[in-house]
Amino acid sequence: MEQTLLGGRYQVIRRLGSGGFSRTFLVTDLHLPNHPRCVIKQLKVQDKDTGTLDMARRLFDTEARVLYQLGNHPQIPALLAHFEEDQEFYLAQEYIEGSRLNRQVEEGKPWSETRVVLLLQEVLEILAFVHRQQVIHRDIKPSNLIRRHRDGKLVLIDFGAVKQVTSSPLLDAETGATNITVAIGTHGYMPNEQYAGKPRFSSDVYAVGILGIRALTGLHPQKIEEDPLTSELDWRQHAPTVSSELAAVLDRMVRYDFRDRYPTAQEALEALQNLPNPLHGLVGTQIYQTWMKGSNGRGPTFPGDDNDPGNGPSETSEPTAFADDQDSTSLFPVDLAYPTAHGKAPLPLAAGGAKAVAFQPYGRRPSLVAVGLLGVLSLGLVLWRSGLTIALEINGAGITKPFQSMVLPSLDIDLGRMLPPEEKAALLTRQGDRLLRQGRYPDALAIYDEAVESQSDFAPAYLGRCKTLIALKRPIEAIAACDDALAYSTYYPEAVRSKGNAEEQQGRLLAALALYESANNLMPAMFEAWLDRGRVLQKLGRSAEALAAVDQAIARDRESAEAWTIRGEANWTLRRFDQAIIDLEKALQINPDHGPARELRQRARQTVGR
């Protein structure tokens, strides 16, 4: 097989891995200039009888369809092509150079709480996008997450077990339930309903919670006992220093009963974002220190490698894309946290001084003492100049740890000295997003501007500027910012929708409608664009079309008072008075203080006399 071209164009370099249903190969594409690398995933078909081939073709078509739908997200590998050849099925995907997360989530090596929160937030941000597309991943685990070398971001891979729910009835879409009857996933990361073949969106939330617990405790999930009375995981005893706030979020993520969990990744993400911030909102609670040749002089690893720490046979990976360059640079995060004295409470801060912090790398360290010492000294110099206090020592075992509190004059912290531009822009944009949600618009705009200054082509920062300028009632500037976002990211339905908001703010309803329709076509699962479309159609007096659009919005989120209000207004215009009253009462049931629904309901009562 490796002597021939796959699909007539892909030349195999080597096999990367093999799992229960597939094999993956690193290949070069001979049809494109410079013969770029990509990854071919072959769906294995052991039995070529008609029934087996039909099942394989169904799995293949499902994964291809979902990857086409999801692959435009920057942290999901893009699908380049798919084809069938000699009753074998192949997917060509973007090549991601990086290291699998299971290389860092190691048995017996618990992570700090700060690091766990950052990991969970990053995974849930990707997964929230997946859930908005009405897709359940069903196999979230360390080996299906890759830390990409070029920017340190996580990439979610292996969508071979996905389940789409967009074609399910409305009630199923609300709960995330599906009619799948086969249990697919990985032991330890699968909740009970997934074992029964009935996964929900909250099944993915469970798996992410297990990932966090594994990192926090240093224990494989199958080694964590269940409470014999409640069947809940008794994990807290293995992480006695975890904060009660984070523990409560993790507990809810991994509840035995799916009805007690966060229903989707978005709700879990919001709970994490509302946790107390030990660094009081400072940008850069996670920093990447580059060590050449990976850890201990080793590059990225693959399933089956002798030096791969792995996760054991119960956590076999079916990767779709990962690095193979043994000489490439690996990125290892560094925790920034308050220092502790002998494992006790944080040291007090001196009045008027900078925070005393310990800067301690995690993951494996370079084996050369000279490299480690130089790294500590140079890092200390950078931090000193940036206004942070350094308190480090290397003990006899070669482990770096804090040894005393040191105080520096109060200085501005410039973590940009240590971050590549794209990482700094990403961190600043996330801080801007938080400020925007809090209604602190001028502060958010300043942060987005700083992100753009750091990385001039970072599209999410321009989108943040656009949304903030809309909130500040500056629609002309907002349109320019959205245009910048679209110039640097050709597939950006959120920016298309936000540009529509700016056009609508200027009263240009037809221009706004065209943009909302475009956003619907680009991302059918986006609730907000359907709601916007329905609102503008109603403003234009096209009530029947408004009703159809808002029904699409309600199918994606039944708990929107605005959506039910627009529906009631459309039905009222169409003289469907009884249905309009029902819609308005539903809106007020969701939000009794929703002014437009209350006013329209009052007028309806006066008109119909009830």
b/e for 109-137, b at 16 or more Cβ within 10 A? ebbbbbbbbbbbbbbbbbbbbbbbbbbbb
Alpha carbon distance 254, 535 (integer Å) = 38
* Rounded Cα gap, residues 556 and 173, in angstroms: 8
Tell me the residue type at 229.
L
CA distance 227 to 256: 11
**Per-residue DSSP letters for 56-119?**
HHHHHHHHHHHHHHHTTSTTSPPEEEEEEETTEEEEEE----EEEGGGTS-TT-PPPHHHHHHH
Say if CB 84 and CB 43 are below 8 A apart. no
Q: Is the CB of residue 29 less than 8 Å from the CB of residue 10?
A: yes
- Is the CB of residue 14 less than 8 Å from the CB of residue 324? yes
Q: What is the DSSP letter of 355?
A: P
Exactly one of 139, 335, 532, 583 is catalytic; name it: 139
Tokens 């009081």 identify what position?
280
Segment (H or E) for 427: helix 421-437
Look at strands 400-401 and 393-394 and give their pairing: antiparallel
- Residues 501, 470: contact at Cβ < 8 Å? yes
CA distance 14 to 1: 11
DSSP bridge partners of 393: 401
Specify the DSSP class assigned to residue 226: B
Find out whether 330 and 322 touch, Cβ atoms under 8 Å: no
Beta pairing partners, 359: 336
Q: What does the block give as tokens for 602?
A: 């009052």
Q: In this structure, what are the phi and psi dihedrals at residue 39, rounded to the nearest 5 degrees?
A: -115, 130
CA 339 from centroid of its chain's CA atoms: 30
Residue tagged 């911030």 (tokens): 277
What the block records as the tokens of 394 is 């290397």
Residues 6+ apart with CB under 8 A from 459: 484, 485, 486, 488, 489, 492, 495
Residue 307 token pair: 């030096």
- Report the alpha-carbon distance of residue 376 to residue 393 in Å, rounded: 9
Has 139 been annotated as catalytic? yes
> Residue 435 corresponds to which tokens in the numbers above?
């400020």
Instruction: List residues with catalytic annotation.
Output: 139
